[in-house]
Amino acid sequence: MGRKTGRLSPLLFFIPALLTVFGVFMIYEASSINSSRLYGDAFLFVKQQLKWFGLALIVYWFFMKFDYHYLYSLALIALVVNIVLLVLIFIPGFSSTVLGAKRWLSLGPIRLQPSEFSKFSLIIYLSAWFSFKERGRFFAFILLISLLIGLVILQPDMGTASILGLCAVYLYFISGAPYSQFFLLIIIGLVAGAFFVFSSPYRLSRLTAYLDPKTDPQGITYHINQVNTALSLGGWFGTGYGSSKQKFQFLPEAHTDSIFAIIGENFGFAGTTILISSYLIFFYNLYLNIIKIKDRLGFLLASSILFLLIIQCLINLAAMAQLIPLTGIPLPFISYGGSSLLTLYALLGIMYNVFRYHKTYV
């Protein structure tokens, strides 16, 4: 293991934990009515999230202590296991369908979302692969990313597929790839994205809803209109915790992808500003540690994890602000979802391990 580089700022530990605890309270606020009606337990989603949070902390502690250099040898195994899990989703008896999407793998009482774990395996594998400079890897990279992203799109999960693609291109770029290949990847991504959007009536309807929210207010634009209603009800200082009107089954996915709208309704512009500021402070502190890393593998791991956190926040918040079409991307550490929480804390553990033990040479 590399030389220990000193103590980390307490903010790096406290901010994600506080965001998760805050998220638990908001999950209750957003889901209690619906959960009570459907399952007879207003705390069902809260209890599930707390269980996942406890498991996430164990995983976080493990990876913070686990020498990240060993991930180089485990990267291929992680990728293969993840691909197998993604394939199992399409085999009858292994998956569960929610709202027409096969994104969840049912293993007895446990339900996992392999596409979330794809973020983990992709970052680990590409960081290990790109930690050594080599030539002639462009087409191999295209084939690998096409396989992984293709399996995610088929679920369908365009939002997560977009994040995987962006993270892959980012890693490819910072690893020292030629600018010509970088721009070619951007063009390929845009063309592929346009094809998948215009070839799917569901995705095309989301684009239509984004371009004209007044179209079909009880149909394709219902979701974004309810998001706008929630944020407008919040005003400057919010209606107060527990006073949400949108939680009464008006706002779809209120405790998952749209939880920011409930936060805005409860705490208003002031509350959402504090929340976004917390993310910015957290990201800035991560950045200050990343620029000190000299070990190539450690730098690729840490910087790509930070990129993932930033891009996931930006996409969720931009969708809520109607800057981009709605996507099924959870707000990091806050939205309900065990697979997402587990993946994020595992990646945080790896990042903090890099911060504490990275080598002082390239």
pLDDT by residue, tens only, the chain of 362 residues: 555 555 677 888 899 999 999 999 999 988 888 888 878 888 889 999 999 999 999 999 999 999 999 999 899 999 999 999 888 888 877 766 665 556 777 766 677 888 899 999 999 999 999 988 665 688 888 899 989 998 988 887 888 999 999 999 999 888 887 778 888 888 888 888 788 777 767 677 777 766 666 665 555 667 777 887 888 888 888 888 887 777 776 677 778 888 998 999 999 999 999 999 999 999 999 999 999 898 899 999 999 999 999 999 999 999 888 888 877 789 999 999 888 999 999 999 999 999 988 764 34
Predicted local distance difference test score (pLDDT) of residue 185: 85
Cα separation, 328 vs 158, in Å, equals 8
Cα separation, 29 vs 8, in Å, equals 34
Cα separation, 122 vs 155, in Å, equals 18
Can you state the angle between helices 296-320 and 158-174, rounded to 10 degrees? Answer: 140
Residue 95 parent element (H or E):
strand 95-98
Which residue has tokens 């587990």? Answer: 342
Q: Domain extents for the chain?
A: 11-195+232-357
Cα separation, 185 vs 29, in Å, equals 42
- Cβ neighbours for 241, distance < 8 A, ≥ 6 positions apart: 25, 29, 266, 267
Predicted local distance difference test score (pLDDT) of residue 214: 66
Report the SS3 class of residue 98: strand
Cα separation, 35 vs 236, in Å, equals 29
Closest CA to 316 of 334, 336, 330: 330
360 is written with which tokens? 């002082």
- Cross-strand pairs, 110: 107
